[in-house]
Amino acid sequence: MAAAIKSRLAPLPARPRAAAAELPALAGADFIDLADFTPAQFTALLDWAAALRRHPKRYGRLLAGRGLAMIFEKPSLRTRVTFDVAMQTMGGYAVFLDFTDSPLGEREDIADVAHNLELWLDAIVARTFEHASICELARAARVPVINGLSDASHPCQALADFLSLRLLFPGFRAPARKSGRLKLAYVGDGNNTLHSLLEAAALTGIEMSVATPPGYEPAVAVWARAQRLAAATGARLTVGNDIAAAVRGAHAVYTDTWASMGQEAEATRRARDFAGYQITAAVMAQAAPGARFMHCLPAHRGQEVAAEVIDSPASIVYLQAENRLHAQKAVLASLLGAVPGARATAKSS
């Protein structure tokens, strides 16, 4: 499957095209929600991630001597490993802080945690249950804070996903108003992953259609924010309950677990409500010829996706996972002012 994926990669620039103009402005900033960035900045991050992916050794000392604090209230495989490896492979280091038994803010005020960590380390990534915890951490810390996942959004995942789409579809960067633009379909829960995907779709001007069971639509505030972004880029976003309408003509079909971490008590009810929203071979057949399947992982085969789909040549779930590393590297280097031409700055308090 890896060879098949590699053969479809679109040509990419050896160096970030837009970094000189856009990424220096991100030095010292936070990475909380994709809606905080302009379309040009998001495109620059994709360019930068692509360059880091293509030439990892060229940028092996970008973060020499820099340190990252990693706060985790939830278990993690991809986020924890890729941030750790990203720091190491760019010459830095990471310190893991286990908050699974005592949530952030319970043992010590979040502001005090932030003020201590900023004395010793250069950036903070946090994976929390409550989005408000990450926002409070960002308000207090004088170093960049990165959202590694919250109940409201998952921006690092969406950045990696759109890097994956750009690698596979040469027409990804075509103007939104031209016919034949990329269409991404999402089927399932209106959760944090969907929220960030909607914002990414709006920033890049693609078409994105969503199908959720009634009552599981994305948050109203997020939907309104994505629509405002879409108005500026020409993106076309739709949300409904009809799977066939959502996947028709889609170049990629995305799903996520029906019950996320912290929703275990709802698993039985959700399994009933989502029973008709499984991605099967029949669903994929309604998408465009050669459509790809996407999932942020971990996946539950036989629930949100049939095993024959996620394990098929159409699946790009491991490409998405690989690109978490390159996306994380792009975010870290940008916020720490390590992009060529950028200078690190402290956040204003």
Residue numbers annotated as active site: 127, 154, 157, 256, 296, 324
The encoded tokens of residue 180 equal 């034949």
H-run or E-run covering 184? strand 183-187
User: Which residue in this structure is represented by tokens 């590699």?
Assistant: 6
Q: How many CB atoms lie within 10 A of CB 238?
A: 12
Residues pairing with 93 in the sheet: 67
Stated as kind and residue range, the H or E segment containing 162 is: helix 155-168
Helix (H) or strand (E) holding 171: none
CB 46 within 8 A of CB 19: no
The whole-angstrom separation of Cα 241 and Cα 212 is: 5
* Closest among 79, 19, 8, 20 to 327, alpha carbons compared: 79
- 209 phi and psi angles, rounded to 5 deg: -120, 140
